[in-house]
Amino acid sequence: MTIKELEPKALWSNFYSLTRCPRPSKHEEAVRNFLVKWAKDKKIDCRVDKVGNVIMSKPATKGMENRRPVVLQAHMDMVPQARAGKVHDFLKDPIETKIVEDWVYACDTTLGADDGMGVAAIMAVFESKTIKHGPLEALITTDEETGMTGAFGLKAGELKGEFLLNLDSETEGELYVGCAGGVDATMSIPYATEKAPKDYCAYRLTLGGLKGGHSGMEINTGRANVNKLMFRHLRWVAECGLRLVSINGGNMRNAIPRDAEAVIAFPKEHTECILAEFDKVAGWVKKELSSVEPDFFMKYEKVRMPQNVICDADTQKIINLMMVAPNGVIRMSRDMEGLVETSLNLAIVKTTGKNFTVQALLRSSVDTAKEALAERLVCLAELAGGTCKLSGAYPGWKPNMQSPLLKTMKQVYKKLYKKEPAVVAIHAGLECGLLGGKYPDMDMISFGPTLQSPHSPDERANIPSCKKFYDYLVAALEAIPEKK
């Protein structure tokens, strides 16, 4: 069986089409063109705004003209992550899928159900001739995963809807009414190089096999950050004449980094001792993380000695910086049990020839806490003789427990499934925060099917939950109240 044969076919056939269409963040041209052509073929009104968002509209079905207008919202891009050793060009290659019991996976890459499933649901609703609904709009945003530039760039007044259904959550049976805000931080630490000492040798140190995952949804799972582990290994031998040559760890700001490699140099006479110490540290890490990161590995191999190395003082400075840099959960919510309030993901580290850079994503449901954490990084960078640039800040989404839309959505869920949905907030960046700033009177709810391990090659979509999600969406559209 292929995913095109799964039920509901309207949902899965559209998702299959999206798997054929490359759509990594910052490279949405192909999927945007696909959506525009699809809408034209279906005779659906469609336009593209100045920042690349796709906006569609569909009139109400007969007898539903007086219902409050609804915006269905999802994002077109996906996080491009492949398992180590997997050859996959996200700019050209389709996502290949497989069905394992009740789950759909990709073959050693991210699946793109985040948020392809939301886009597929919008397509299914808009092409349907039988679903009952009031006036509809669709907002399919661009570049959500690496900066929310589509939501940032959307002009006030583009949409006419009063209710917005964000189809970008990842646990069926939960209605999201609030989310964390975020800000990007980029630390840049200059370093000096010198000619490599003649009595030195060079090795490539590689760490990998970690689970990674979503830096908001899974930041509290205890999963390891490979960049922190790398510098833990280096710190253990830092006083043995170690020189850093280069380092590259992580590749997505909103994914917990899984793989890293560093080229290092050290005195030949210390080779046996240093490699033994690396083995020792790796053994400690494996033991500490055995329950959560069973596939962690460390390996090293001798490489050609480079002409230049980073000088001793700056090597030590970079190692010390990464050892003390905060990472992971900073504070849990005081208001909602089990919810992360503030976190930081040290996502990407690399050397550029002149600077050591660290890209981090900070999240918090409390704006002042987010700002305070950002200032910690600014101060840390300054202490290391560098700078820290803050950019791309976006607000959180404050819950409205008196929301008329929430009342309707709870009633519909209980009628369908004979139980109350959970009403929760999420420690991740939903576009509702930005959209609420542009449309302060728009009532919003976020929901979706059950997805696990988004932003990693273990990403999977639960098949029964996808059917429940779609059936719920269809029922909710029919139950939207009339205009006041």
| Mean pLDDT in consecutive groups of 10 residues from the start of the chain, 484 residues | 94 98 97 98 98 98 97 97 94 97 97 98 98 98 93 95 97 94 96 96 98 93 97 96 97 93 97 97 97 98 97 98 98 88 97 96 94 98 98 88 96 98 91 91 97 94 98 98 90
Q: How far is residue 25's CA from residue 144's CA, in Å, rounded to a whole number?
A: 7
What pLDDT was estimated at residue 395? 87
Q: Report pTM.
A: 0.78
Nearest of 112, 156, 163 to residue 134 by alpha carbon: 163
What pLDDT was estimated at residue 15? 98
Strand-pairing partners, residue 141, are: 75
What pLDDT was estimated at residue 457? 94
Respond yes or no: is residue 144 known to be catalytic. yes
Q: What is the distance in angstroms between the CA of the first residue and the CA of the last residue of the chain? A: 48
Nearest of 335, 333, 317 to residue 325 by alpha carbon: 317
What pLDDT was estimated at residue 170? 92
Give the C-alpha distances (Å, rounded to integers) separating 374 from 13, 206, 347, 361, 378.
Answer: 43, 30, 15, 10, 6
- Residue ranges, comma separated, of all CATH 3.30.70.260 domains in the chain are 183-394
Q: Which one is catalytic: 77, 115, 174, 431?
A: 77
What pLDDT was estimated at residue 341? 94
- Residue ranges, comma separated, of all CATH 3.40.630.10 domains in the chain are 3-179+396-479
What pLDDT was estimated at residue 1? 82
Q: Domain spanning 183-394: which CATH class is it, in words?
A: alpha beta
Q: Which one is catalytic: 28, 114, 144, 458?
A: 144
What pLDDT was estimated at residue 277? 97
What pLDDT was estimated at residue 335? 78
Classified by CATH at the fold level, domain 3-179+396-479 comes out as Aminopeptidase (3.40.630)
